[in-house]
Structure 1
């Protein structure tokens, strides 16, 4: 059974330790995206594609070691790792 976009986002938020507002702003420039989806908003195809692309890119960057989860930080949900962090 296909999971809804909201279910996939919820899994991503737990995986990345990213606050919902930071996710919405980074993925589709809408900090209320997750709360609106939780409230019953039906996303359009463009929103679905942009959120999926953001989550896939973040996971690929994490797998490659370019980003790491930062916990519940409101200003930045992740930071880019530098050469000094790759030990």
Structure 2
């Protein structure tokens, strides 16, 4: 599930949820909305996955 991956990412990099949402989807409420049951569309899901993969590569993980 995407939210579980995001939560692990936030813990791993100690990143605030608002920064994550803003950086990957220009939506500071993204993580909070997902926690409340929002289902992201395919484009947003791809953007989230791409952001996490790129961030990990650039930070040596």
- Kindly report the root-mean-square deviation, in angstroms, between the aligned alpha carbons of the 2 structures: 1.0
Q: Distance in 1 between matches of 2:45 and 2:2?
A: 7
Greater relative CO, 1 or 2 (CA 8 Å, sep 6+): 1
Give the helix-richer structure, 1 or 2.
2
Runs of 4+ in 1 over 6 A off after TM superposition: none
Q: Secondary structure at the match of 1:41?
A: coil
Q: Which runs of 5+ in 2 are unaligned?
A: none
Identify, as 1 or 2, the structure richer in strand. 1
Q: How many residues align?
A: 61
Matches within 5 A, 1:64-79: none
Mark the runs of 5 or more structure 1 residues left unpaired by the alignment.
Answer: 65-87
TM-score (norm 2): 0.97
Please report the TM-score for the alignment, with normalisation by the length of structure 1: 0.68
